[in-house]
Chain A
Amino acid sequence: MGWVWKSLNSSIGKKLVMAVTGVALMLFLIIHLAGNLSLYGGSKAFNGYVGLLEMIKPLIRVIEVILALVFIFHIINGVRLWIENKIARPQGYTINGSRKNTDVFSRTAFITGSIVFIFLILHLQTIWYKFNYSGTELDLYTITTEWFTHWWYSLLYLIAIVLLGFHLNHGFQSAFQTFGWNSKKYFPLIEKLGTIYAIIMTLGFGSIPIYLYFFGGK
């Protein structure tokens, strides 16, 4: 199996790792959003959904481990690429022309990813960890809505989500390009789908802090 490892460490292999993990995370986001939207249904709906997940806790734990691995691969690989790519150009240009030949989403993928990562840690700490490991008696709905009463937390969440949208807008079409699915006929459609996906994710996740902050939930 040495060839697999070797192939994944080639320049194209590393792209593949980014793309496969990225797609897995994009699928996760869809499920995560679907679940989160139950916040609009109030504490009963949301906690009901959480209860459902609690029922299959062992399975969730396995998924969490896989998800963690996917995240770690995506992040480590991304950081590694970023470092290697910096090394590939030891001296930069005095005038940066990249604004003229690239779009903002692609150009900033590493930065948006990094900020989303910082947010992710905060997000896990404040919600996931608190619910699972802090020994609290509170239900998840209360924990969540509590946080969103703080304007700074809501704002932080909102900014992170917008940046996530940027990241996704690049990631979606980028994954298809990496897989080699770039046909003249379908690629424009894929790019549109990517943008639609990114917008839905941004609006979906982004509406929650606004809703919870201003209306405090039911």
Chain B
Amino acid sequence: MVKLDAKVPEGKLEEKWMNHKFNMKLVNPANKRKYNIIVVGTGLAGASAAASLGELGYNVQVFTFHDSARRAHSIAAQGGINAAKNYQNDGDSVYRLFFDTIKGGDFRSRESNVYRLAEVSNNIIDQCVGQGVPFAREYGGLLDNRSFGGALVSRTFYAKGQTGQQLLLGAYTAMNRQINLGKVKLYTRREMLDIVVVDGVAKGIVVRNLITGEIEKYSAHAVILATGGYANAYFLSTSAMNCNATAIWRAHKKGALFANPCFTQIHPTCLPVHGEGQSKLTLMSESLRNDGRIWVSKIKHDMRKPNDIPEEERDYYLERKYPTYGNLSPRDISSRAAKEAVDDGRGAQGKEAVYLDFQDSINRLGQKVIEERYGNLFEIYETITGDNPYKSPMKIYPAPHYTMGGLWVDYNLMSTIPGLFVAGEANFSDHGANRLGASALMQGLADGYFVIPYTIGNYLAGDKPTMVKTDHKEFDKVKAEIEEMTSKLLSIKGERTVDDFHKQLGRIMWNKVGMARNKKGLKEAIKEIAGLREEFWKNVNVVGDSNDVNQCLERAARVADYLELGELMALDALNREESCGGHFREEYQTKEGEALRNDAKFAFVSAWEFEKAGKWKLNKEQLKFESVKLATRSYK
């Protein structure tokens, strides 16, 4: 059993981070250049960490499997980023942002981490403005805000519908500056395939050069994983095609505990599936819910066109069920409500979709205002579906979008492997069982700019890790393991394609480990996934060879990991006998169909320890709530 020590600092909630910063050991500025740090991933968390560490004087090596650091999937975040600036004078505060986030996460996150997140949120906005991020502004020249799901204050900063892009480019440019100054060295088209642990401490990584196929070894004093989430286990998700869990999964297999794998977020406003060949799902910004009304027909199997359905036969189910928050209800609640409507046979024209209607807003505000606010989103919608949302309502449906679970980390964002830090979506730290809109960007940048640069210094100054050369036998051992796995994949030459396995896994995950889960389904899923995994290693066909660009091989290795991770997600979901946030167990619901939490038994973080594929040991981190009172989450 691993002893989980979250290392939460003593003191009042408001003083923890301040005290901790003061108490942490510092690295002598002259000594920083003697330390090497590896950062894997160049999204918001990775790029911002690399930039900040470079500025501090460390030698940073940063890795991405993309051709450019700017392609990381943070770029696709549309809506915005939260911060407790209270520029709108609507009663926001650090405490309120903290509270909304804890409540939004259905009381399954660590108070201290969430408070720190809210605390540094304001610095993020300042930092980004300083970097030249063109946030939207009001006529007076000051920053503009919009409101977002799960909050009653306007605290979301945005840059058109491309906030993630602009923030990522901000971090990317900051990192570029350090590359220019020689403090950061960038390795593109390298996929991390394992970490190297020597005497229980993370000492480096092994990567595949995606152009030459060579397996390369890199060592450092500390390793940061900022490699994003694992929503692609569902095959169809809003994650980018190449988003994968390989880095965190291989670290997990080397000893890092995996926390809350079943906490996945299904985003309510995505475009519905069009057919078999669908490769991924497209998110439509949640900001659409500010002016769009969500409805389905009151009549089952209603095949009429939406505009032919009269007002009185429409069910605005979110407004009906949750009058206070209405269409701005949190993501998990909105998604589940859509599923209920569809399961009830009231999906749009018999499809797995609900309507998002702008007609009222167009009547109230005029088409011009709507065009100003959402013009580009409407264009995207029309490009993809061929329908004009000014004339008839959009069709939307929930899709896997974000994974709150991830590698377990302590308050310092260090995993259970000393020297291995985890930032951004890759860790489990801040969102509990559900993430609020516009909080992912906040967390990624908080971790990268304002948390890890401090806590890694504490590790380096305190533990004084040594650096191991890459000719160390452990590096060679890991490299040999990877090469063996690669040649095994290439030698199977079975009957089924990699995508075929991935799609089948996705269907199991979506049907049984998706928006609503139950004991029977989860047990079936565990069995089916294990069976599928077995078949994969006998019957997959990976074409091409290993010393060349081989996208088939890249995908195969990722799918191999999903086939293990998927099972753990189901296992975790089975184990958590309650409903909370994105995890809804059908057995545990109120009479009205709302999630029924079990704080007495399940107010803990599930941290799974890997023994072998298909076998995990559960460790628990009990969550202590000292500042907030556990309450039933109500958005009515």
Whether chain A touches chain B in the assembled complex (some CB pair under 8 Å): no
